Structure 1
Amino acid sequence: MKFTISREKLQEGLQAVTAAVPAKTTLPVLANLLVETTDRGIRFSATDLDIAVSTEVSADVETPGAITIPAKKLGEIARELPPSPVKISASGEQRVTLECGRSKFKLLGLPRDEFPTFPSVRFNDSWRVKSGELQKLISHTAFAVSNEESRPILNGVLWELREERMRMVATNGHRLAKMELPVEASSAPPGDLIVPPKALEQIRRLFPAEEELEIARGDNHLGFRSPFTSVFTRLVEGPYPNYEQVIPKDNDRYALADKAALTSALKRMSVIASDQTHRIKMSFNSGMLKFSVTTPDLGEASDELPINYTGDQLDIGFNATYLLEILRFMPTEQVRLTFKAPERAATIEPEGWDDPAKYLCLVMPLRLMD
């Protein structure tokens, strides 16, 4: 194998795929990138066996071939190279030579045969989705997934495909984010997919918003591709909990608040909140929201914020970190909060959003200490 590639194209290819290289692995070849020549240039591929990413970049190929090269070292070398064409050649099955200007490196690779094959996803039954729509759903929901391994089903994002809409939902049992977009007669087969957030992050990162993605499903894998880049992911198996049951339909107390002011007050209160529970008390009255925090071994804090509130007075406790995360993804300057009782779920929605998408977040309250 022998080819010449610009430093910029080399860095572009590496940047696209290195996020799929596992930080730790017992299989040495997974720490490597697969580098292959193609009709259009060079294809870089990486996998951690759960997700796999490949991308093609232009290069002048002299001799076709394929080899795997240590990802970390190749990335470090590429970052430090001078702005000159990079010549890469592989002799035999393991030795790789890289030359750029006066710099020369020799690396030990591993044979192409040792690299895992990508999942078998057949694109003849594929459907198409605008990347921008997918990115919108991902960025507003994936933050709410669970990191706990005790309930693996909550470690994925539920992607519901219906004839006239698609929806993503994520929850960790204490907070939930749900967004729905109308779609024109979808070509996607109706169904529910549970996708790992790491794969969704690659989709959000790699595909430009204006691009149309081709998506196909294998037995337990999902594939996304554009003309130059592909992402494959293993799906999370099992039934997703019935999240509709926990979304309150009868909340009759409402508050309208300025998102920036609410965020600032929560950040101030968080400084004194417990590192374990992040609990703060919020007292809603007509016209005023009072914050208070007491942490025995640290101290106490209070603050006030003018708001529009309708309903009986309410004292309720929340994990400030969850509220701040939700507010970060609210797309409007004003937010609407609804409540029923101190022990019932509260909802947060964008106020005055003239977007066809529907967006709702939910957060469970914390019990206030007497």
Structure 2
Amino acid sequence: MKFVVSSSTLVEHLQVLSRVISNKNTLPIMNYFLFSLEGSKLTITASDQEITMLSTIEVENKGNDGRIAILPKYLLDILHELGDQPLVFEIDESNYSIVIKSAKGKYSFIGHETEEYPAFRQLEGDVSSISIPCPLLLEGLSQTLFAVANDDLRPIMTGVCFDITTDSLNLVSTDAHTLSRFKLNDIKSETNINFVLPQKAASLIKNVLSKETGDASMKFDDKSIFCEISDYILVCRQIEGTYPKYNSVIPQDNPIKVIVDRLSLLSAIRRVSVCTNQGSSLMRVSISNGNIYLSGQDIDFSVSGEENVSCQYDGEAIEIGFKAILLIDMLSNMSASDIVIELSDKTRPGIFSPLNQAEGTEALMLLMPMMI
């Protein structure tokens, strides 16, 4: 095998794929990239057995087609120190030797045979598909990944649920304290179908989306998910189980509606949170007469803090408790400049949503209250 490839293009793709490889692989071959050369197409694959991701790069083929497994460490460490330039790869498949030639240097190391590398998982049976504009999918994942649970006892909640109905596509995540729902009204299905995308796979897809403007194609059967975005393909297992009925926990009758600048509120919460109890992180939120009054204290260390934030509200006063660190996490993952906070009473969840929703979307975040 011999081919010429742009160093910057190769590094960009390898950095994305390197996040797939786990440091807990049970199969040693899973610690390697799989390079497959066919004509002018170089396909690079990385896998942790649950998730397989590959990318395709245009190269100049100077020899025969072939395959080789390459350890990420040597390859990435060398490429990171090279500027943007053409690189010549010369690979001897008889002894797995690899030589990389740059403008002023040459680097040699040993690869590995590829027979043990697992085959690419294929979808089977009834396959459903959806197409999502990449900017909208990026926004949806950005607003839901933070609320994914990290609980082995409830694995179904450790991913992002894609709930496709006859009315819309809903991206949903919850850890039982926080819930986030991002609705795309223009993407629908003739029948109600859903799948749960694992957190790691969702993060990998999000990393690819930041530079894409086209559509992401997602296909799925009853066990696996196939996602294609430009030069990247990801295949992973679905999380098995039934996702909680998330709509039933979203209060519909919320007479208290407060409009506030998100960044002003977030900055004030961050400052006051320094004074809250490290264990409970309880913050009192009092709303009345155009002001949100935030207060927190840690009795053990005789520390307290309070701050006012201007808002638009002229109804009855209410006081409610929230976990400060969850408030910060939630508001940090919203993108709107002004938000609406909807409340009913101090025992029911608070709903946070953009004042002006982007066209064709409805974003909503929910936070459970704390006893005060």
What is the TM-score normalised by the length of structure 2?
0.91
Moved more, 296-305 or 98-107: 98-107
User: Aligned residue for 1:166?
Assistant: 169
2:8–2:83: 8 Å Cα contact kept in structure 1? Answer: no
User: Aligned residue for 1:346?
Assistant: 350
User: Aligned residue for 1:326?
Assistant: 330
User: Aligned residue for 1:306?
Assistant: 310
User: Aligned residue for 1:317?
Assistant: 321
Correspondence for 1:257 among 249, 253, 260: 260
Superposition deviation, residue 16 in structure 1: 3.0
In the alignment, the residues of structure 2 paired with residue 119 and residue 110 of structure 1 have an alpha-carbon distance, to the nearest angstrom, of 22
Which runs of structure 2 are paired with 1:211-360 in the superposition (5 Å)?
A: 211-226=214-229, 228-298=231-301, 299-353=303-357, 355-360=359-364
User: Aligned residue for 1:364?
Assistant: 368
User: Aligned residue for 1:138?
Assistant: 141
1:16–1:55: 8 Å Cα contact kept in structure 2? Answer: no
SS of corresponding position for 1:308? coil
In the alignment, the residues of structure 2 paired with residue 168 and residue 286 of structure 1 have an alpha-carbon distance, to the nearest angstrom, of 36
CA offsets per residue over residues 39-63 of structure 1, 9 Å max, x none?
Answer: 3321111011222111111112212
What is the TM-score normalised by the length of structure 1?
0.92
Distance 1:254 1:125, change over 3 A: closer
Distance 1:277 1:355, change over 3 A: farther
1:82–1:101: 8 Å Cα contact kept in structure 2? Answer: no
User: Aligned residue for 1:110?
Assistant: 112
In the alignment, the residues of structure 1 paired with residue 344 and residue 59 of structure 2 have an alpha-carbon distance, to the nearest angstrom, of 62
Distance 1:227 1:247, change over 3 A: closer
CA offsets per residue over residues 308-332 of structure 1, 9 Å max, x none?
Answer: 3344322211111211222223333
Distance 1:163 1:244, change over 3 A: closer
User: Aligned residue for 1:79?
Assistant: 80
2:212–2:230: 8 Å Cα contact kept in structure 1? Answer: no
Superposition deviation, residue 127 in structure 1: 4.2
Give the unaligned 5+ runs of structure 1: none
Structure 2 letter corresponding to 1:60: E
In the alignment, the residues of structure 2 paired with residue 125 and residue 351 of structure 1 have an alpha-carbon distance, to the nearest angstrom, of 34
User: Aligned residue for 2:29?
Assistant: 29
Moved more, 50-59 or 156-165: 156-165
Report the aligned-residue RMSD. 2.2
Distance 1:361 1:180, change over 3 A: same
Structure 1 letter corresponding to 2:168: R
Superposition deviation, residue 300 in structure 1: 0.9
Superposition deviation, residue 227 in structure 1: 5.1
Superposition deviation, residue 336 in structure 1: 1.2
User: Aligned residue for 1:13?
Assistant: 13
1:251–1:338: 8 Å Cα contact kept in structure 2? Answer: yes
In the alignment, the residues of structure 2 paired with residue 176 and residue 364 of structure 1 have an alpha-carbon distance, to the nearest angstrom, of 9
In the alignment, the residues of structure 2 paired with residue 250 and residue 304 of structure 1 have an alpha-carbon distance, to the nearest angstrom, of 27
